[in-house]
Structure 1
Amino acid sequence: MSDPMRPRASLRTAVVWEVLKDALDRQVKAAGRESLDVLDTGGGSGNFAVPVARLGHRVTVVDPSPNALFALERRAAEAGVADRVQGVQGDAHGLFDVVERGRYDAVLCHGVLEYVDDPAEGVRNVVDALRPEGVLSLLAAGLGGAVLARALAGHFKEARHALDDPDGRWGESDPVPHRFTADQLTSLVAGAGLHVAAVHGVRVFADLVPGVLVDTEPGALDALLKLEAAAAELAAFHSVATQLHVLGEARGAAEG
């Protein structure tokens, strides 16, 4: 599964990948099938879709960008999984114009919720795509990480603005429309009818560490990856993570 584990990329994906892979393994056992149907909303060029397909699953990627879908097709072909990856042009708002409700064992919603007008509706849409015992992998921008980053850069007014803003934005030029706290994301997932199985902080330290240190110091990357993994599950670090990952399970799966 080399795609999500390349040296620099691994700092951004390792925690989410391990959680997702374990969740898919549990789904395989629960469903009694070796191959699952997975939906990746906003999956772009296949950073997660292709590795998931390499596990043997069938993946449908919905993304509004034709260029991203072209890159996905090429990437899937290079990885030898073109027969298990399908790209469809669309977005979370009109999701059921291009895919079926209740068809998927797992749905990935990574880096999408920040850009939808109504996050609650966005979560409900992706949950509606799940089968009765499906699982949701939700990854979104964290408020605390943005506040910390602006403050450390010396932009104290912007940091305060993000802290007070209902959408967690540090100003009008902020490219991210919405940021979330862990409580907000878990409330959205629970409100859509799922059990919150786990919450992880993503990129707690990675965005704060100088790249030159990671690239040149022997053993630094591996040590940082282990530190990220250790901190990810600790609630104390959720408030400063750049991203937050929530794993939601359908009630039937959680009870089973």
Structure 2
Amino acid sequence: MPEASEKFNTAMAAWQQWQEAPWGRLRYTVAEANLARHLDALDAGPLRVLDLAGGDGGDAVRLAARGHHVTIVDYAADMLAAARERATAGGLTELITCVQADVSTLPADLADAEFDVVLCHNLLQYVDDVPATLAAALAPLKRGGLFSVMALNRHSAALNVAVREMDPAAALAALGTDQYQARTFDAALTLHTAEEVIPVLQGLGCQDVRHYGIRGFCDYITDDARKYDPAYYADLERLELATTARAPYMHTARVFQLTATKG
């Protein structure tokens, strides 16, 4: 995706600010907790993780801090430079490798590496062919390995507009489209649902697919300033962690995460 890389490079400051905000922190904390549910079931010892479209290492640094070896693949050079800086700051340079490449055409040494874990987070909304992207993402994963896919949830779009913008007309319009304009990267996105992606994963041979929701409450609380209060944030984090796998909240969460085992 070379044409998209410049947008990511120029939006670095806004992206890093978003990551440090309460909603950004929740995205990474809950995703890490969901992965941790499954990582212990894999073989003991450090795991080999492939983080596709891993950007500046938001997921990678957390997994490396747990002792795992993470290879980040991304097309945006500035994102990878930021990932290396984060690895250095955290003393994780020996555990994080950065590779500049298009995730759809991985270098042969990665495509054939048989990783224990593959992450495909926040990529689907940028691609035209979801089944082909998921197939390419699963290819480097060894049999029995853990796959994690994450994307913006189309079910949340209308609710988000109605609650945060108090615009029922715009919310009604959102019900009839899968298109969304992202502010941080000024990019046109295609929204998906977990219910659409699950059968695709199963058709590709994935087993034991689990559905989680991320930010099932945070994005519908309109007082953003209060979320910066440490005590309030702590309560919000506990709530999000308690409901990430609980119906009906994962269905309306702003982000869906699916984990699966490669058959």
TM range (shorter): 0.7 to 0.9
TM-score by length of 1: 0.85
C-alpha deviation, 1:156, in angstroms: 3.3
Q: Deviations over 1:169-211 (max 9, x none)?
A: 2579983422122211212221221013311111111112222
How has the CA–CA distance of structure 1 residues 175 and 80 changed in structure 2, closer, same or farther, with 3 Å as cutoff? same
Q: Which residue of 1 aligns with 2:244?
A: 232
How has the CA–CA distance of structure 1 residues 175 and 148 changed in structure 2, closer, same or farther, with 3 Å as cutoff? farther
Q: From 14, 22, 29, give the equivalent of 2:37.
A: 22
Q: Distance in 2 between matches of 1:214 and 1:248?
A: 32
**More deviation, 57-66/171-180:** 171-180
Secondary structure in 2 matching 1:199:
strand
Kept in 2, the 8 Å contact 1:186–1:196? The answer is no
**More deviation, 36-45/185-194:** 185-194
Q: Deviations over 1:35-66 (max 9, x none)?
A: 21110001111111112112221111000100
Q: Which residue of 2 aligns with 1:11?
A: 26
Q: Distance in 1 between matches of 2:70 and 2:92?
A: 10
Q: Which residue of 2 aligns with 1:254?
A: none
1:30-109 aligned within 5 A: 34-96=45-107, 99-101=110-112, 103-109=114-120
TM-score by length of 2: 0.83
1:42-191 aligned within 5 A: 42-96=53-107, 99-101=110-112, 103-152=114-163, 153-165=165-177, 168-170=178-180, 175-191=187-203
C-alpha deviation, 1:97, in angstroms: 5.5
Q: Deviations over 1:87-117 (max 9, x none)?
A: 1111222235672235200001111111111
How has the CA–CA distance of structure 1 residues 243 and 14 changed in structure 2, closer, same or farther, with 3 Å as cutoff? same
Q: Deviations over 1:150-174 (max 9, x none)?
A: 2221343432333222xx2257998
Q: Distance in 2 between matches of 1:223 and 1:102?
A: 41
Q: Which residue of 1 aligns with 2:226?
A: 213
How has the CA–CA distance of structure 1 residues 98 and 150 changed in structure 2, closer, same or farther, with 3 Å as cutoff? farther
Residues paired across the two proteins, number: 240
How has the CA–CA distance of structure 1 residues 177 and 131 changed in structure 2, closer, same or farther, with 3 Å as cutoff? same
Kept in 2, the 8 Å contact 1:138–1:247? The answer is yes
C-alpha deviation, 1:239, in angstroms: 2.6
Secondary structure in 2 matching 1:235:
coil
How has the CA–CA distance of structure 1 residues 130 and 172 changed in structure 2, closer, same or farther, with 3 Å as cutoff? closer
C-alpha deviation, 1:69, in angstroms: 0.6
RMSD: 2.3
Percent identity among equivalent residues? 28
Long gaps (5+) in structure 2: 1-18
